[in-house]
Chain A
Amino acid sequence: MLVLIAAHAAVAAVLPALAPRAGRAVWWVAALVPLATLVWAAALAPSVLDGDTPVEHFGWAPSLDLEVFLRLDALSLLMTGVISGVGAAVLVYGARYTSEGHGRESALLLAFAGVMLGLVTADNLLVLYVFWELTTVVSFLLIAGRGRTREHREAAQQALVVTTGGGLAMLLGFVMLGEAAGTYRISELVADPPDGGYVPAALVLVLVGVFTKSAQFPLHGWLPAAMVAPTTVSAYLHAAAMVKAGVYLTARLAPGFADTEPWRPLVLTVGLLSLVVGAWRALWESDLKRVLAYGTISELGLLIALFGYGTRNSALAGEVMLLAHATFKASLFLITGLVEHHTGTREIGRLSGLGRRRPVLLTLAALAAASMAGLPPLAGYLGHEAYLDTFWNAARHGPGAGEEWVLAALVAGSALTATYAVRYLWGAFAGRPGTEPTPQEDPGDRALGMAVPIAALVAATLGLGVWYSGTEALTEPYAALLPSPQEPYHLALWHGLSPALLLSAAALAAGLLLYRLRPALSAVRDRSPRAPDAQGSYRQAVRGLDGAAAWLTRRTQVGSLPVYLTVLLATVLLVPGAALLLRDVPLPAPPLWNSAVQVPLAAVVLITALALATARHRLAAALLAGAVGYGVAGLFLVQGAPDLALTQFLIETLTLVVIVLVLRGLPAELGVRTGSRRVRRLRLAVATAAGALVAVLALAVSTVRREPAVSEFYTDHVEEAGAHNVVNAIIVDFRALDTLGEIAVLLVTAIGVGALIGVLGGRAATIRARPPAADRYEPTARWALPHEQWLPEARELPAHDRSLLLEILARLLFPSVLVLSLYLLYSGHLRPGGGFAGGLVAGQAFTLRYLVGGRADSAFAVPLDPRLVAGGGLALAAAAGLAPLAFGGEPLGGALVSVTLPVLGHLEATTTLVFDTGVYLLVTGVCLKLLSAVGPAQETPEEAAGKSGGTPDTPATATGSRA
């Protein structure tokens, strides 16, 4: 089965590529695959009908209990025969019928055959669902065609929306069923059906899916609309295969759930209503395909009712009707295609006299229509007899669940079916007085190739009827699974003068009479009020949805970031805020402080933060932000987090430097506050409320903790990692993978900054000497010019930008700071420090050097690309993480190494030091990169000369940055 499904997919994938060379021949290639399936099914038939069920299986996602089970039992075999038999006939027909797009059409039809094969053999609810939705997708593509007309697109969309909507309900039902039963295997589910609880609701949901897929009243509107598709698609998808998926699922579940409320009343009501309404609507259509479409809705209703009723005899009747319907309806659709091919129309009013000129076609059509109407000795007759007999007996002896009504609906349905069968036949082939014989547009050179598959299907409907013992052998094994309250019914062409025969004959007679009375009925129908049209309500629903979406979009998509953020914050305030208010546990009175040092620190932080909120100058704001950061660092220290405090101090300094460097290129003022008084008040209120919420939340959260902290594990195992500093051990050892990701993000942001500024400033990656700024202003005071070469690179600077004091300091401090950074790196495992802190200290050594000497990388003998340093750091960290793999360890694991060197003495280190060195290098490289990006790019030569052109005038703020 897996191989066959894969073969469908593989051949379908190749066909479009073959089409440009092979032309129509691709259809023959495509037809071979379902033909092979048919042969395979026939070969397996004897053993399967004896009760053998081959099962195939492969693990799809075993950890999620998702396993693909394919199973071939008698019902699946029957469906496989229908799908592959009709599929082969339709594909052969398509070779002559289709005039363009051979590759696409044949491939989609073949793919559809494969998906259907999967659907009917799937033995897992979720796998079945996947195939179910795949048929919807393929159906969408086939109905839409190339999407040339609005009609095609709308029909395809409607089919997709309606059946997917039903499919979603069904998925929910499947999950509920699967959870209730503890298994998603269909065979196990049906053998041991769950009961009670939410199982009835699950069944209703599944049946909604069934009703949409099988176009049941009142969800049937998409099927007549889909008749815009080519006749091959209508014959295969909308008569024989896809719409039968719902029927198949009903039949599949009926043995387990037919007795569970509300299964039986629901399927009988919907099915029989569709049977009668569909057949009635078929009487008034003038398009031959729409006549057939409404007929299909009617027949599908019948099938669902028969299978859903869930007794042995009704299921047998259902199976026979399923086979009959697949053969006669598919052939009638194909005949319609041929009629249209001959005459260019399928409107009943415009066709005339075709029967006389096409006697063979008329004969085939007459046989198929007779099977539909239930005339002997055709398959349809067997089915009609079977269900009339079943419900005649059920109505007389049955459990009394309204079987009389079922019988009445069945007879009425049979009568109406006979009427529209006659209408189809007469409409397509009869001569009409007063209407010109329809012209023949095609001399018929392709007609033979199209007639052969029709003849095969008609022969099948005849053969199934005549060779009724064979039909019974095929259908009996599934029916035998169901309870049989009455005598088992056996198929035969002659049961004697039984009540069923009389009912059948009466229905036929009534149908013919109805056809005679049609003109009179038409007048009555025109005067009577119309029932609400399913199509109209669908259109209205879609329009309403579009309108609601547009309204919502207009109201919410206003394009303003502050508004979006306000909405988000208001949501945060309302939802968790309301939950917090509704909490019944009172907050314990919190202590005022845990450590008195917190109070002055808190005051500093809050005052500077408030000042920041009202600041008007960028530089002031930057300095205030820095102050907030330093204050927070102090709070970290009080909290017992020296590592954090160290990092925060370093980062805050670096942030300040970078912001000030960039500020040189920005206006001094922060810009006026925007918004009306009301907006400002709202802003203030929302922000204050959010702050208050967070404060209360923090107090509440800290009191509800019950579980012990996970970090006890780290504290207990830190010595094993050869470390004393638990925080550092977490960063470079326990959770090193997180760190690796984080330093990668850091590198990306640095590269981003380089790109964002570098593109503007030209060759920003290389550090240039600043252009002489002396033309612009005359400094009033100068530093003493150094005579000694304290910093060689500083000589490139203009004299008034140099400072002896700073150069000497930089020269002296630079190596010491670098050594300090290395010390922090090495000792990080034992004391506060580590790669981040060490790298930041090194970065600040270079910052100092840059600010004084104008270049950051002059400490190296050769110019060094900062990207190389940072990238090298990342590579080193990654390599250190992977290295243990080579020694059979876990990735990112560490080992303790101790050596005794002659001079240095006993040295102890862990291999994670290498990882930390990678972090160190990366952070240093990022600092260098940032300096090179934000430093020199601020002033391009032409700006410095005051020729700013179209860009806004850059204020000369160069003096401030050096001071």
Chain B
Amino acid sequence: MRALDLTTALVVGGLFAVGFHLLLQRSLMRLLFGFLVLGHSTNLLVLMAAGPPGDPPITGEGHAPETFADPLPQAMALTAIVITFGVTVLLLALVYRSWRIQGHDEVRDDVEDRRVGEEVLES
């Protein structure tokens, strides 16, 4: 079996790095783009993990089934693309709402979270 090529591995790794870098920031919009990029890279990773490139998995067009690219991860990635779209748009709505209501679109520290720790210590 042929191994994964270096180019694709670099793309996947690079997209993951960019995605995580954006995800680690406080601007909600950057978070959203980070999520989008992570979605792309994960789909790509799932697809690549199944094996090297092949012919489109469509029968009756002269390709032998042995040369097909693995169709199962494709089906998974296909629905994942659509779901990622749905979640991205939902995040976008949250960004917009945060901006309209609070006047900023940043992830602020959760004060309640900190208070939990302090209260436990006091009691």
Contact = CB atoms under 8 A, between A and B. Distances in A.
Given A562-B24, A636-B77, A639-B48, 7 more contacts: A550-B121, A562-B25, A625-B37, A671-B106, A673-B25, A691-B15, A701-B49
B4 A702 contact: yes
Report the 8 A-B pairs with minimum CB-CB distance, sorted nearest first.
A691-B17, A695-B13, A640-B69, A559-B113, A749-B86, A687-B21, A559-B110, A554-B117
B90 A639 contact: no
A590 B82 CA distance: 32
A613 B20 contact: no
B47 A752 contact: no
Nearest to A613: B18
B21 A613 contact: yes
B96 A752 contact: no
B71 A714 contact: yes
A255 interface: no
Contact of B57 (A592, A640, A665): A640
A721 to B, nearest CB: 11
Interface stretch (A103-111, A257-265, A414-422, A598-606): A598-606
A887 interface: no
Give the one of A647, A687, A738 with max B CB within 10 A: A687
Chain A contact patch, size range: 35 or more
Interface string A645-689: 001100100110011001001110011011100000001101110
Nearest to A718: B59
A519 interface: no
Interface string A692-710: 1111101101110100011
Interface in A754-792: 756-757, 760
B72 A730 contact: yes
Interface string A716-753: 10110000111100110001001100100110111011
Interface string B59-83: 1110001001111101101110111
Interface of A: 546, 549-551, 553-554, 557-562, 565-566, 569, 588, 590-595, 598-599, 602, 605-606, 609-610, 612-613, 618, 621, 625, 628-629, 632, 635-636, 638-644, 647-648, 651, 654-655, 658-659, 662, 665-667, 670-671, 673-675, 683-684, 686-688, 690-696, 698-699, 701-703, 705, 709-712, 714-716, 718-719, 724-727, 730-731, 735, 738-739, 742, 745-746, 748-750, 752-753, 756-757, 760, 830-832, 836, 923, 926, 930, 933-934, 951-952
Contact of B48 (A675, A702, A753): A702
A951 B82 contact: no
Contacts of B26: 561-562, 674-675
B20 to A, nearest CB: 4
A641 B75 CA distance: 9
B17 A687 contact: yes
A609 B14 contact: yes
B92 A659 contact: yes
A680 to B, nearest CB: 9
B4 A590 contact: yes
Interface of B: 1-18, 20-27, 29-30, 33, 36-37, 40-41, 43-45, 47-61, 65, 68-72, 74-75, 77-79, 81-90, 92-97, 99-101, 103-107, 109-114, 116-118, 120-121
Nearest to A569: B20
A558 B81 contact: no
A695 B47 contact: no
Give the one of A632, A716, A830 with max B CB within 10 A: A632
A635 B90 contact: no
Contacts of A738: 79
Contacts of A836: 78-79, 82
Contacts of B61: 724
A752 B109 CA distance: 25
Nearest to B112: A559
A727 B10 contact: no
B76 to A, nearest CB: 8
B99 A727 contact: no
B109 to A, nearest CB: 4
Contacts of B44: 632, 635-636
B21 to A, nearest CB: 4
Contacts of A934: 89, 92-93, 96
Chain A at the B interface: SS class: helix
A691 B52 CA distance: 21
Contacts of B109: 558-560
Given A605-B15, A702-B48, A665 B5 contact: no
A643 B78 contact: yes
B107 A727 contact: no
Given A670-B27, A687-B18, A727-B71, A612 B33 contact: yes
B3 A636 contact: no
A558 B113 contact: yes
Contacts of B120: 546, 549-550, 553-554
Contact of B114 (A557, A565, A644): A557
Given A549-B120, A730-B71, A684 B21 contact: yes
A655 B3 contact: no
Nearest to B63: A640
B24 to A, nearest CB: 5
Nearest to A638: B53
Chain B at the A interface: SS class: helix
Contacts of A746: 82-83, 85-86
A647 B78 contact: yes
30 contacts: A551-B121, A554-B118, A561-B26, A561-B107, A562-B25, A569-B20, A590-B3, A590-B9, A594-B8, A606-B10, A609-B18, A635-B44, A641-B47, A651-B82, A659-B92, A674-B27, A687-B20, A691-B14, A692-B17, A694-B41, A705-B51, A726-B59, A731-B79, A749-B87, A749-B90, A756-B96, A760-B96, A760-B100, A836-B78, A952-B99
Given A557-B116, A559-B110, A565-B23, A666 B82 contact: no
Give the one of A566, A625, A716 with max B CB within 10 A: A625
B74 A644 contact: yes
A562 B41 CA distance: 21
B42 to A, nearest CB: 9
Given A562-B107, A628-B37, A695-B13, A756 B99 contact: no
A636 B47 contact: yes
Contacts of B103: 951-952
B114 A558 contact: yes
B43 A727 contact: no
Contacts of B12: 694-695, 698
Nearest to A547: B121
B13 A698 contact: yes
Contacts of B65: 712, 715-716
Given A591-B2, A641-B69, A670-B29, A691 B87 contact: no
Contact of A760 (B18, B69, B82, B97): B97
Contacts of A659: 92
A473 to B, nearest CB: 58
Contacts of A730: 71-72, 75
B15 A628 contact: yes
Given A629-B40, A698-B49, A711-B71, A750 B86 contact: yes
Nearest to B52: A594
A699 B4 contact: yes
A158 B86 CA distance: 50
Contacts of A750: 86, 89
B97 A757 contact: yes
Contact of B88 (A599, A655, A684): A655
Contacts of A684: 21
Contact of B56 (A558, A588, A641, A683): A641
A550 B75 CA distance: 47
A556 to B, nearest CB: 8
Given A625-B36, A686-B20, A595 B53 contact: yes
B86 A665 contact: no
B3 A602 contact: no
A554 to B, nearest CB: 4
A724 to B, nearest CB: 5
